[in-house]
Amino acid sequence: MEGAEIIFTLPILGIPVSETVVNTWIIMGVLTLFAIVSTRSLNRIPKGMQNVAEAVVDLFNNFTADTMGEQQKGFSPYMGSLALLLLFANLAGLFGLRPPTADLNTTFALATMTFLIIHLGGMKKKGIKGYLKNYIEPFPAMLPLNIIGELAFPVSLAFRLFGNVVAGALIITLLYGALQSLSGMLGITIIPVFQAAIPIVFHLYFDLFSGVLQTFIFVMLSMVFISMAVE
Amino acid sequence: MEGITGRELVMAASAIGAGLAAIAGIGPGIGQGYAAGKGAEGVGRQPEAQGEIIRTMLLGQAVAETTGIYGLFIAIILLFANPFLRLLG
Q: Which domains does chain B have, with CATH numbers?
A: 24-88 (1.20.20.10)
The answer on pLDDT for A14 being more than 70 is yes
Considering only CB atoms, B70 lies closest to which of A159, A164, A216, namely A159
B58, closest residue in chain A (CA to CA)? A217
Question: Of A6-15, A30-39, A156-165, which gets the smallest average pLDDT?
Answer: A6-15
> At what angle are helices A210-230 and A143-185 packed, to 10 degrees?
170
> Is A176:A195 a contact under the CB 8 Å cutoff?
yes
Percentage with pLDDT > 90 across chain A = 32
Q: Is the pLDDT of residue A125 over 90?
A: no
- Taking the CA of residue B36 and the nearest CA in chain A, the distance in Å comes to 15
Residue of A nearest to B72 (CA): A163
Report CB contact under 8 Å: B73, A164. no
3-state SS, one letter per residue, for chain A: CCCCCEEEECCCCCCEEEHHHHHHHHHHHHHHHHHHHHCCCCCCCCCCHHHHHHHHHHHHHHHHHHHHCHHHHHHHHHHHHHHHHHHHHHHHHHHCCCCHHHCHHHHHHHHHHHHHHHHHHHHHHHHHHHHHHHHHCCCHHHHHHHHHHHHHHHHHHHHHHHHHHHHHHHHHHHHHHHHHHHHHHCCCCCCCHHHHHCHHHHHHHHHHHHHHHHHHHHHHHHHHHHHHHHC
> What pTM was estimated for this model as a whole?
0.86
- Between chains, do B72 and A216 touch, taking CB under 8 Å as contact? no
Contact list, A1 vs chain B (CB under 8 Å): 80
| A contacts of B65 (beta carbons < 8 Å) | 160
CB atoms within 10 A of CB A176: 16
The answer to whether A213 contacts chain B (CB < 8 Å) is yes
ipTM score of complex: 0.79
- Percent with pLDDT over 70 in chain B: 99
- Higher pLDDT, residue A58 or A15: A58
CB spacing of B58 vs A216 below 8 angstroms: yes
Nearest chain B residue to A161, by CA: B69
* Chain-chain contact of A163 with B73 (C-beta, under 8 angstroms): yes
User: Quick check: A171 contacting B, CB < 8 Å?
Assistant: no
User: Is residue A1 over pLDDT 70?
Assistant: no
Q: How many CB pairs under 8 A join A and B?
A: 37
Question: What would the mean pLDDT of A222-229 be, rounded to a whole number?
Answer: 88
